[in-house]
Amino acid sequence: MNDNEIKQLVADTGRRLLDKGLVARTWGNISARKDATKFAISPSGLGYENMEGSDVPIYDMETKTWEGSRKPSSEKKIHAAAYKLYPEVNFVIHTHQDYATAVGLATTNELEMSPEEKDLLGKISIAGYGLPGTDKLADNVTSSLKNSQVVLMAHHGALILGKDVEDALKKAEVLEEVCKRAVIKKIGTDAIEEACKIAGLKKMDTDAPEKESDKIAPFKAQLDDMAQMIGPKYSTGAVAKAKEGLSEDDLQALSLLLNKAIICKKYTEALGIDGRLSSFDCILMRTVYKFKYSKQKNK
């Protein structure tokens, strides 16, 4: 493929991930190898629904420079590590999928896989936490990549390497199914349905009365994207404040995020795991998101 085709592939894959519910808004990132030293990667802060091939920069791993009008994703170091470690890998996706994210807060010991699933996914590792875009996160993920091409990023999401785009997407979907089975086995389908119901209510009119049975006790953020969009603590008031001035599209993203956050909370509770992010990290991420990334989404 030429440069334009590779860049368009990245943009098109972003919309496919949106349709599959594996990413939302600007969260996550996608890359496609061009050659031994360069790859196309989704730009920083641009929503997938608005992304075109012309928006996608090409990053040079050797010179650490890029071609294009937009900055590459802040997670470019992680993608570079994947391509350097595995010459056979030609496509990398970083998702914020619900169930894999929940498992990433705990342990992979709960996962049960068929021989076919094991053959496809290989070893699944969990990388230690680091704030988004930092060297600490890149170093932790790189360490986990040395023995795995599927890495759960604690408090964050999943990184999936593939020989091509279809291989990477298939791995992402199978990973989510494997993790979903583990979560449901631990908390049951009723808890999943409750999370969906509560998250759906939260995207409605903030003045609408809330039934006592539909409330959930406030809890601290366990996930980067929750900290970014809502803040350090989930509560009815925090959600109402986060919704101020949001478009219908953004409200839908908030609903999806809440659904994931509640599932993660119920799963970690069932396992007796705390999983809370520090208040400082949450406030920092919320501030950066509010004054930077959320404003870039539609530009």
Write out pLDDT tens, residues 36-89.
999 999 999 888 888 999 999 999 999 999 999 999 999 999 999 999 999 999
- At residue 207, the pLDDT reads 42
- At residue 169, the pLDDT reads 98
Q: Does 244 participate in catalysis according to the annotation? A: no
CA distance 208 to 157: 32
pLDDT at 294 over 60: no
Whole-number percent of the chain with pLDDT over 70: 91
288: CB partners within 8 A, 6+ apart: 228
- At residue 7, the pLDDT reads 98
Q: Report the number of secondary-structure helices (H) and strands (E) in the chain.
A: 11, 10
- At residue 297, the pLDDT reads 56
Q: What are phi and psi of 43, to 5 degrees?
A: -75, 160
CA distance 125 to 72: 26
- At residue 209, the pLDDT reads 39
**Residue 139 token pair:** 């170093």
Give yes or no for a contact between 97 and 157, defined as CB atoms under 8 angstroms apart: yes
pLDDT at 179 over 80: yes
pLDDT at 198 over 60: yes
36: CB partners within 8 A, 6+ apart: 87
**Residue 169 token pair:** 């997407």
Catalytic residue among 5, 49, 52, 75: 75
Q: How confident is the model at residue 175 (pLDDT cuts 50, 70, 90)?
A: very high
Mean pLDDT of 188-203: 72
- At residue 188, the pLDDT reads 92
Q: What are phi and psi of 151, to 5 degrees?
A: -125, 130
Radius of gyration in angstroms for the set of CA atoms belonging to the chain, rounded to a whole number: 18
- At residue 194, the pLDDT reads 77
Lowest-pLDDT range of 6-15, 97-106, 283-292: 283-292
Residue 160: which of 225, 239, 104, 112 has the closest Cα?
Answer: 104
- At residue 21, the pLDDT reads 86
Whole-number percent of the chain with pLDDT over 90: 70
For the CA atoms of 148, 152, 157, 159, the dihedral, rounded to the nearest 10 degrees, stands at 0
Q: How confident is the model at residue 215 (pLDDT cuts 50, 70, 90)?
A: low
CA distance 249 to 256: 11
Domain with CATH 3.40.225.10 in the chain: 3-182
Classify 289 as helix, strand or coil.
helix
Most confident of 116-130, 208-222, 235-249: 116-130
- At residue 298, the pLDDT reads 54
Mean pLDDT of 119-137: 97
Give yes or no for a contact between 7 and 56, defined as CB atoms under 8 angstroms apart: yes
Q: How confident is the model at residue 205 (pLDDT cuts 50, 70, 90)?
A: very low
Classify 288 as helix, strand or coil.
helix
Predicted TM-score (pTM) of the model is: 0.90
Q: How confident is the model at residue 248 (pLDDT cuts 50, 70, 90)?
A: confident
| pLDDT tens string 266-285 | 999 999 999 999 999 999 99
Domain 3-182 has CATH 1.10.230.10: no
